[in-house]
Structure 1
């Protein structure tokens, strides 16, 4: 006897409104700063309640697509990874597999681009890296962790490529990994060794030796994995 296929649950109304608003922004080719129609007009044109429009607007605000300017209206936002940066670490939780996945993505990005970095990096970025390494060493010699300098080192290393999306992705996966793993709260058993890892990466980049730079970068990440394993 033929079976009747169960219908999928229809999306919530405010979710459908979100999709309609995103399609409208897309099709109208609205640029950042462009105003959307007033809430009441949107409700009328979509044939829904103002509450549904309001919920949809809040949801789109939370992911950085639009912004509400109190007393003025609703406007298209410039694209930003910030909402993803804010929410990703919490979505990952503290499962070891998820943390490992984030670390793997971060490694893949950096391993794949270090050769381009070695070719492109200029004196200004090398000087900034040197200052960051000196700050790392000062803290390491006091037995202190240096998460801000660590993040700055990796940001400066790839800044020369001029790829804004890459810069944000590296930052996202750096922050996501450290928040999800609580890596620095574990206590670095050997901050001097961590500083030396970065120093050796820097030396290889200064020497324009892409093979050695990748090898030192890989060794650095092996050290991170061993700390997590412990």
Structure 2
């Protein structure tokens, strides 16, 4: 068995700072206190503080300017979808809004894929769908299902759809273990997804969109039930 990684003091401090920023203790637009005072307030060294601040700058929550200091960014104005995993860690109720986007984007992707997919892309979709049935359930099936959706996005011929698909799946990562409900049984997972792939392979855009709507609604209900059972929503 591989040992689970332990949180370092930098990990813990990063989490504390992130929660304090998103919770409003350090409001958007405000300057953080001087590093020495901030480090003393959190009971850490300035070196540890610098490492944690660098991570939050990279994440897009902070910006540092020489001679000015470190300012809290207004993520609602300047942030991107890459912040979603962090926001979900802070408040799991973001997942409902992600599901809403997932439904609208997912249905559109299926429709576009049915219109634009090449013969090679249709063959890839069929192969990825077969992979879902061949899994052992749980996380393996979940990941195989993700590959089908990536193949659907590629089949649109629009690379932005693929990036959006990746962004939405990355947003799930903090709570992914609680979203495994639709993927416990590989046969059932295959059954739900097969009509979407079949419509795309048959080049039937309206049928693909309708099938995607059904799939996305059904799996959302199962995933939401999983979140409620774990007390994360």
| Both structures adopt the same fold (TM-score exceeding 0.5) | yes
Deviations 1:147-196 (A, max 9, x none): 22111111111213333332111111123135435344457454312211
1:7-46 maps to which residues of 2 (within 5 A)? 11-12=30-31
**2:112 is matched with which residue?**
116
What TM-score do the two structures reach when normalised by structure 2? 0.58
- Equivalents in 2 of 1:188, 1:108: separation in Å? 21
Q: How many equivalent residue pairs?
A: 166
**1:157 is matched with which residue?**
152
- Equivalents in 2 of 1:56, 1:94: separation in Å? 17
Pick closer, same or farther for the CA change 1:98–1:181 going to 2, 3 Å.
farther
**1:134 is matched with which residue?**
130
- 212-221 vs 111-120, which deviates more? 111-120
What TM-score do the two structures reach when normalised by structure 1? 0.58
- Equivalents in 2 of 1:195, 1:136: separation in Å? 6
Gaps of 5+ in 2: 1-26, 34-50, 61-79, 227-233
- Equivalents in 2 of 1:55, 1:215: separation in Å? 46
For the 8 Å contact 1:200–1:216, the answer to whether it is kept is yes
**1:104 is matched with which residue?**
100
- Equivalents in 1 of 2:173, 2:193: separation in Å? 17
For the 8 Å contact 1:94–1:181, the answer to whether it is kept is no
Gaps of 5+ in 1: 1-7, 15-53, 64-82
- Equivalents in 1 of 2:189, 2:85: separation in Å? 23
Quote how far apart the aligned CAs of 1:203 are: 0.8
For the 8 Å contact 1:129–1:153, the answer to whether it is kept is yes
**Runs of 4 or more above 6 Å deviation:** 54-58
Pick closer, same or farther for the CA change 1:114–1:185 going to 2, 3 Å.
closer
RMSD: 3.7
2:134 is paired with a residue whose SS is helix
- Equivalents in 2 of 1:208, 1:10: separation in Å? 50
**2:200 is matched with which residue?**
205
What is the aligned counterpart of 1:92 among 88, 93, 99?
A: 88
Pick closer, same or farther for the CA change 1:95–1:57 going to 2, 3 Å.
closer
